[in-house]
Amino acid sequence: MSLTPCGCNRSLAVLGGLFASLAACAFLAEDACRDGGGRVSDTAWVCEMAAGASASLWSMLSPFAAGLAFVVVGVPVFLIVNAVGRRFIVACGLPVD
């Protein structure tokens, strides 16, 4: 039996980093909505303003804040999950690419 390295061992780390970044962005967008005097809708990704208007929750997030959330949250989560995954693969005796 020949064991070849698998190039798919970072998939979980990428997904973990992506979803952690999205969760941080959603938190920042909700905070921006509340700071503007609105409230977050219970049924949709909508910020309902005090004047009765509604806007997409994602429009409350600036590109800088989204990039910052990616760097501050997504990258560390990727690195941690990747390190744990590599340790698990090595502990099981499988080759790491």
Do the Cβ atoms of 38 and 48 come closer than 8 Å?
Answer: yes
Spell out where the chain has E strands: 39-40, 46-48, 54-56
Q: Is residue 24 part of a domain?
A: yes
For the stretch 29-78, pLDDT in tens is: 999 999 988 899 887 789 998 888 888 989 989 999 999 999 999 999 99
In a domain, 96, yes or no: no
Domain containing 30 equals 11-91
Q: Token pair for residue 28? A: 């920042």
Confidence of residue 96 (pLDDT cuts 50, 70, 90): low
Q: What does each C-alpha distance from 13 to 7, 20, 74, 83, 94 come to in angstroms?
A: 13, 10, 10, 9, 18
Pick from 29, 40, 35: nearest CA to 68: 29
* Domain assignment present for 97: no
Query: Quick check: is 4 in a domain?
Result: no
Model pTM? 0.79
Domain assignment present for residue 2? The answer is no
Tally of domains within the chain: 1
